[in-house]
Structure 1
Amino acid sequence: MRGLTTIVIVMSFFAIYGHGKTARAQPEQPLNVIYPLRVEAEKGPHDFILATLKLVLDKSEIPHKMRPTSIPMQQTRAMERLKDGKDVTIYWAGTSPEFETEFLPIRIPIMRGLLGYRLMIIRKDRQKIFDTIMTLSQLAPLHAGQGLGWADIEILKNAGLSVTAAPYEHVFKLINAGRLDYFPRGITEAFPEIREFGPANPDIAVEENLVLVYPFAMFFFVNKDNPELANAVTLGFQKAYEDGSFLALFARHPHIRAIIDQAHLSQRTRIDIANPFLTTATKEIPARYWYQADKIFEAPQPHSPAPGKKANLTD
């Protein structure tokens, strides 16, 4: 009898807290999936992310209700709301050890690592300066901007680059005014941001010749007191990989296709830097979840010049 009781307890534990394909107790009420309404243009990277979120929740076959917040939120505020788990129940962001400690991360890169391929938003009349840059040491004297609280700040500083943090929308104004030299943005972000923020900042543009590369992942994050939602997203993401539906979405989504074509990565000089802030668990993500996984973790030691080389981002 005692042995039977032990088995029941163990099975109950895995049903509630297990990830992957472990059986789960179905929630009595639909999962409340509340994500931040964003101020960015609807047809952009967040359009793809929301399509991914809907796909994986549907694949989980767990009842859920998905809706945005009533007011727009940027990352800092969204993460604050996610901590209390009421106004926001799920968010996506570039990962960091802090985020992975504070929240439940779903460790499947939403963008397959493309967030670590960075184009630079610059002031148009400074393109001639960037035309002369081929190495990390040549980039180092220039000054980068980043959003407040972003994980990229320490990655760039670790590589010997100068960085100033400011509110997200304000960084575009600082570039336009010539107070900062460049704003590294993921290849899925740079061109949509020019379309959105360019009218108010007419002197900004996407730099034409460089791509800065470091290992980086965007995850979905869930409040620690909401393992049911974390399990649903994990299960759904795994199913979407297994049946090919996520890779089909990634390959065919108009935003992803257009951005990769527009970026002309094969014609850009690639500068690699390290990301020493990846957690062990993130480093151990299976290779199939990364875009060109065999190369994404190749990077020189911090502060060493990186030889200019042509990027190749084809499967």
Structure 2
Amino acid sequence: MRQLGNKYNLLKWLAACALAMLTVLGVHAEPMRVAYPQPQIELDRGYFVKMLELVMRKSGAKYQLQTWDVKAIKGRAVQELAHGSNVDVIWAMTTREREQLLLPVRIPLDMGLAGWRIGVINAQDSAKFEAVRTLDQLRQYKIGQGYDWADTAVLKASGFDVVTGATADNLHAMLAVKRFDYFPRSIRQVWGEAEQHAAQGEVVEMTLALHYPAAVYFFVNKNNPALAEALEAGLKRARKDGSFEQLFRSYNADLIRRTRLSQRVVLELPNPDLPEETPLQNKELWYSPTRY
């Protein structure tokens, strides 16, 4: 602690620290508003909203969850959190730009599952993807991704020809008319989306997986450190008491088993947009195929 000029200033500093601690612990009279945008992807309504509810319960803070009744694409949600007044927290894949603009809580909510990608393809293309064994072979095909998704930059950095769209539904429609060939989705997303679009001839590609280091965090406005501290405290408690793991498994374990990563050719990609502060060295925070 830095030296303060006199006892009065020291007392003021201690009082400010005490007030901040009381706010984080929920002793402050007013509950903390925790407003989040409506999930654009229905699966997120289950897992990430349930995770937010769990974490805030564990935080010890007084809070009031609210929904911003707009299904904002990721870029708009980021800007609203940074500059608007409707949103207090979002969940998003981290990038250097997002960590400069917002305040991240660096505990991955999905244990890095966002970086494990399985392709949705047109059924008649199954044979040609079964022949793919290298990144160079996969680069022959056009990849579909959202124009403001963090994954798009990762794929472009590895030399893929990426065709972009506004939303996942928009991209599935583009795949159906062969605007591109391969639509990488996370393990959590791929099965439900392929089934939803099966009538268009879409299927899950069964032989390949892409992997790059990625983390989905809670982000808050840089001027809201109290909420960041509450989220971090809640996440740490949920991880310690096993409730984080229980929620993760309840939503993801069956999907992971169904994906059968051990039977796929895993193509590794670098993520040049991953911030250096990402806690990759803490193996307990990350999904590994050997653990599930």
- Normalising by structure 1, what TM-score? 0.83
Say yes or no: does 1:192 pair with 2:195. no
Whole-angstrom distance in 2 between the partners of 1:183 and 1:39: 18
Structure 1 or 2: more helix by fraction: 2
| Cα shift at 1:313 | 4.2
Structure 1 contact 104–221 (Cα < 8 Å) conserved: yes
- CA 1:180–1:260: 2 relative to 1, 3 Å: same
Which position in structure 1 is the counterpart of 2:291?
A: 314
Structure 2 contact 24–60 (Cα < 8 Å) conserved: no
Whole-angstrom distance in 1 between the partners of 2:58 and 2:39: 25
Which position in structure 2 is the counterpart of 1:36?
A: 37
| Cα shift at 1:267 | 1.4
Say yes or no: does 1:266 pair with 2:262. yes
Whole-angstrom distance in 2 between the partners of 1:244 and 1:206: 32
- Letter of the 1:208 partner, please give it: M
What secondary structure sits across from 1:282 in the alignment? coil
Which position in structure 2 is the counterpart of 1:208?
A: 206
Which position in structure 2 is the counterpart of 1:290?
A: 286
**1:84-142 deviations in Å (ceiling 9; x for gaps):** 34211111111100111111111100000111000011111111110100111111111
- Which deviates more, 278-287 or 152-161? 278-287
Identity of aligned residues (%): 31
| Cα shift at 1:227 | 1.6
| Cα shift at 1:80 | 2.5
Structure 1 contact 82–88 (Cα < 8 Å) conserved: yes
Q: May I ask how many residue pairs the two structures share in their alignment? A: 287
Which position in structure 2 is the counterpart of 1:96?
A: 95
Structure 1 contact 92–221 (Cα < 8 Å) conserved: yes
Whole-angstrom distance in 2 between the partners of 1:232 and 1:93: 18
Which position in structure 1 is the counterpart of 2:11?
A: 8
**1:186-245 deviations in Å (ceiling 9; x for gaps):** 11111122244x16x612221111110000000111111222211111111111112222
| Cα shift at 1:6 | 4.8
What secondary structure sits across from 1:229 in the alignment? helix
- Which deviates more, 157-166 or 228-237? 157-166
Which position in structure 2 is the counterpart of 1:305?
A: none
Structure 2 contact 25–62 (Cα < 8 Å) conserved: no
**1:160-202 deviations in Å (ceiling 9; x for gaps):** 2221221112211111111101111111111122244x16x61
| Cα shift at 1:74 | 2.4
Structure 1 contact 146–165 (Cα < 8 Å) conserved: yes
Say yes or no: does 1:218 pair with 2:216. yes
What secondary structure sits across from 2:179 in the alignment? coil
| Cα shift at 1:13 | 5.8
Q: Which consecutive unaligned segments of at least 5 residues does structure 2 have?
A: none
| Cα shift at 1:79 | 1.9
Whole-angstrom distance in 2 between the partners of 1:111 and 1:16: 33
| Cα shift at 1:31 | 1.1
Which position in structure 2 is the counterpart of 1:140?
A: 139
Whole-angstrom distance in 2 between the partners of 1:279 and 1:13: 31
Say yes or no: does 1:237 pair with 2:235. yes
- Letter of the 1:4 partner, please give it: K
**1:50-92 deviations in Å (ceiling 9; x for gaps):** 1111111000110111122223222122222212342111111
Which position in structure 2 is the counterpart of 1:49?
A: 48
| Cα shift at 1:23 | 7.2
- CA 1:263–1:132: 2 relative to 1, 3 Å: same
- Normalising by structure 2, what TM-score? 0.90
- Letter of the 1:314 partner, please give it: R
| Cα shift at 1:45 | 4.0
Which position in structure 2 is the counterpart of 1:277?
A: 273
Structure 2 contact 220–227 (Cα < 8 Å) conserved: yes
Whole-angstrom distance in 1 between the partners of 2:24 and 2:92: 28
Structure 1 contact 148–166 (Cα < 8 Å) conserved: yes
Whole-angstrom distance in 2 between the partners of 1:235 and 1:37: 24
- Letter of the 1:276 partner, please give it: P
- CA 1:113–1:39: 2 relative to 1, 3 Å: closer
**1:17-64 deviations in Å (ceiling 9; x for gaps):** 78xxx97684431111111112433xx243111111111100011011
| Cα shift at 1:314 | 2.9
- Letter of the 1:291 partner, please give it: Y
Structure 1 contact 45–188 (Cα < 8 Å) conserved: no
- CA 1:313–1:118: 2 relative to 1, 3 Å: farther
Structure 2 contact 117–184 (Cα < 8 Å) conserved: yes
